[in-house]
Amino acid sequence: MDSVYYESPSSEKMDSTTRSTSSEPTRTAEFNTVDEGQAGEDGAKVDLREVERKIIYTANVELAVEEFAGKPAEVKALVEKYDGRIASSTLSAESGSSRSGHWRLRVPVKHFDAFLEDAKALGEIIQYGTDSQEVTDEYYDVQSRIKNKEVERNRLQAILEDKDRVAKLKDVLDVERELSRVQGDIEQFQGRMRRLNNLTSLTTVELNIRQIRDYVPPEAVSFGTQSRRSLEVSLLALKRTGQALVLAVIALAPWLPVFIIGFLLLRFGWKRLRATPK
């Protein structure tokens, strides 16, 4: 996979469409600035405020090494060095193929660049790429929805406590039903918020390492091998056919006296029929 351009956070303020072009960026908190003079709900102007940008960073690194044996320990030590964690790992050493390992790693955003540089030093780079997805709009939209739903929930709770407004049982049930719906919406938005926080606070690195030394390719199938295998298959089929015939004879053996008696009766009857004068 070719390298994918990614947007790197910068400590410098920039609007939501600005992208960093630095070849060696430093990942720090990134902000959008709200334009002065934007009106709020009450018509008053909103003061300048900084909004932290939320970006999901991912990377894919594939390496080749001469010796795989010590690499799992090196990967673990590297993750611990940068306060990350191993989300999943798979090691394989099948016959006829080289040993390899796959790790899904979660690394804090502030250590993303440094971690990748050290990870690339574990072996020879075969593929390397990074990507980013900005979710700032979604993040603050969900945050705003949660606040609005909480206001709605508080309003419904106040109505439910006001005995004059919900004097009838039907009114109470209607308010409780609406309150339950709003609470469900809040919990759904909070779940999405937790996921966005997790994805934007920790980057995801897919790391693949495979050994290229002492690789044993699969055995090439020669004509002699094909002939031998064909003969073995034919002999096996003959053996199974013979076994099936023997089992059939064994199964029919108890019926043999019945077949003999029936044959004799038919033969006797046929002779009597032929001996009868016409």
The residue to which tokens 């918020």 are assigned:
193
Q: Per CATH, which fold does 31-134+201-211 belong to?
A: Alpha-Beta Plaits (3.30.70)
User: pTM of the entire structure?
Assistant: 0.50
Query: pLDDT in tens for each of the 278 residues of the chain?
Result: 333 333 333 333 333 333 333 333 334 334 343 344 344 434 433 333 456 788 889 999 999 888 888 899 999 999 999 999 999 999 887 655 678 999 999 999 999 999 999 999 998 889 999 998 888 888 888 888 889 888 988 888 888 777 666 667 677 787 788 888 888 888 888 888 888 887 888 899 999 999 886 545 445 556 776 777 688 778 888 888 888 888 888 888 888 888 888 888 888 777 777 777 65
**202-211 and 55-65: which strand pairing?**
parallel
Q: What whole-number distance in Å separates Cα of residue 98 and Cα of residue 216?
A: 7
* 11 DSSP assignment: S
Bridge partners (DSSP) of residue 208 are 62, 102
User: What's the sign of the alpha-carbon dihedral 240, 242, 245, 250?
Assistant: negative
Q: Under a CB-based contact definition with an 8 Å cutoff, are residues 85 and 106 in contact?
A: yes
Beta bridge partners, 203, equal: 107
